[in-house]
Amino acid sequence: MRLGVLAWALSCWAAVALAADEYAFLGPAPARNFAPIQLIFLNLPFERAATLRAGGIGLRVDSAEANVIATTQGPTESVLKFETNRTVVGARYGIAEHWEVGLDLPFISRFGGFLDPFIDEIEYIFNAGNPERDYFHNNTFGGFSVVRGTTALFSGHKETLELGDLWVSVKRSVATGDTTPRVALRAAVKAPTGDADEVVGSGKPDFGFGVLAEHRLLRRMMLYLDLSIVYPVGPITPARLTLDPILSESFAAEFALTSGVSAVLHQAVYTSPMHGTGTALLNNGVAELGLGLNWACTPSLGLQLLAIDNVSGVESASDFTVLLAAKWIVNRESSLVDRDS
């Protein structure tokens, strides 16, 4: 619905895109489950199966602005009305041919935000308003609390650049993808560096494993797939919540509009590690769709924009998310993108 405007813009751009002799494919934006409580768990970001060359160094900064609104009543009462910004500073290093290691530092902020008027306008156009928005003034921090009986499960305040749980990762390319799909395996470990009392960390380590694949389907199109499983360590919160594994699936199709600009269709499904809480806010998974643009400014610098809309209930998901990412390869002999003629 609210992605309709962006879809129209992309279709117009595609209609006037100039033909090119070669196309740069930057890959999927580093999306994950941006629901505010799910940010305390490891959730491997969507990325390419390609690895850096031996000795290659890659830097990236991505920032996701997620609008959140959910209220529940009953045995578990909750009020979540704010925007969360999650900015990640990351580095990758090619330790050997087809091997890559990484370190990511997330910083989390919570405040009133600025997306409410835009969301209201789009919902009005498509006659799909959320009545919960009438309870709060636009761009205000309305609260962050989840309480079951007399026990506060999650309770947070406004935050400015609080360090979340950092993680380290390793990726191994197992199929080069010359004529078949390129495939890579990856693993990650999350350290409990974030403050669990302020809901910017879980207070426990998590362990993740995943498979990445990509394939050039047409001259102008690349397809990407990510399947991951995360084992979060519990129990967490004063209620001693036990945790299930987190399963995630992400798919993206990247279509070259010009030699350096491409449009991206994004789809993802995430499960929640929490169960038996009696509320969809914590138990339910998330399904989402997104549209974006990639711009390969140079072979070593790329910019990405992705707008994500949930197609599941707003209770368990961020209502709307805008993700901006910048990737930079330090070594000139390495390349950020695949260029195919």
Looking up residue 77, the CATH number of its domain turns out to be 2.40.160.40
Q: How far apart are CA 165 and CA 204, in angstroms?
A: 9
The predicted pLDDT at position 2 comes to 55
Query: What's the confidence (pLDDT) of residue 34?
Result: 97
The tally of domains found in the chain comes to: 1
Q: What integer pLDDT is reported at residue 167 of this predicted model?
A: 98
The answer to whether residue 75 is domain-embedded is: yes
Residue type, 159: E
Query: If DSSP codes are grouped into helix, strand and coil, which group holds residue 106?
Result: strand
* Cα–chain center distance at 40: 13
Q: Which of 296, 282, 293 is nearest to 322 (CA)?
A: 293
d(CA 196, CA 237) in angstroms, rounded, equals 8
Tokens encoding 174: 């197992």
Q: How far apart are the first and last CA of the chain?
A: 36
pTM for this entry: 0.90
Domain that holds residue 20: 4-324
**CA 327/CA 331 separation, integer angstroms:** 13
Does residue 332 belong to any structural domain of this protein? Answer: no
Is 278 in a helix, a strand, or coil? coil
Residue 52: predicted pLDDT? 92
The pLDDT value given to residue 187: 98
pLDDT on residue 335: 65
Whether 169 is in a domain gets the answer yes
What single-letter DSSP state applies at residue 8?
H
Angle at 319 between CA 314 and CA 324, to 5 degrees: 150
339 lies in a domain?
A: no
d(CA 138, CA 134): 9
DSSP letter at 153? E
| Residue 337 within any structural domain of the chain | no
Q: Running along the chain, 341 residues long, what does each successive block of 10 average in pLDDT? A: 51 44 88 97 96 93 95 88 97 95 97 89 73 84 92 91 97 85 97 96 97 93 97 94 97 96 98 92 95 94 96 86 95 59 30
pLDDT at 334: 61
Helix axis angle, 116-125 relative to 4-16, nearest 10°? 80
Strand partners, 32: none
Output 275-280 pairs: Cβ under 8 A, ≥24 positions apart.
275/242, 275/244, 276/242, 277/76, 277/148, 277/153, 277/241, 278/74, 278/75, 278/76, 278/148, 279/72, 279/74, 279/75, 279/76, 279/78, 279/146, 279/315, 280/72, 280/313, 280/315, 280/316
Whether 251 is in a domain gets the answer yes
Residue 333 lies in a domain: no
Does any domain span residue 335? no
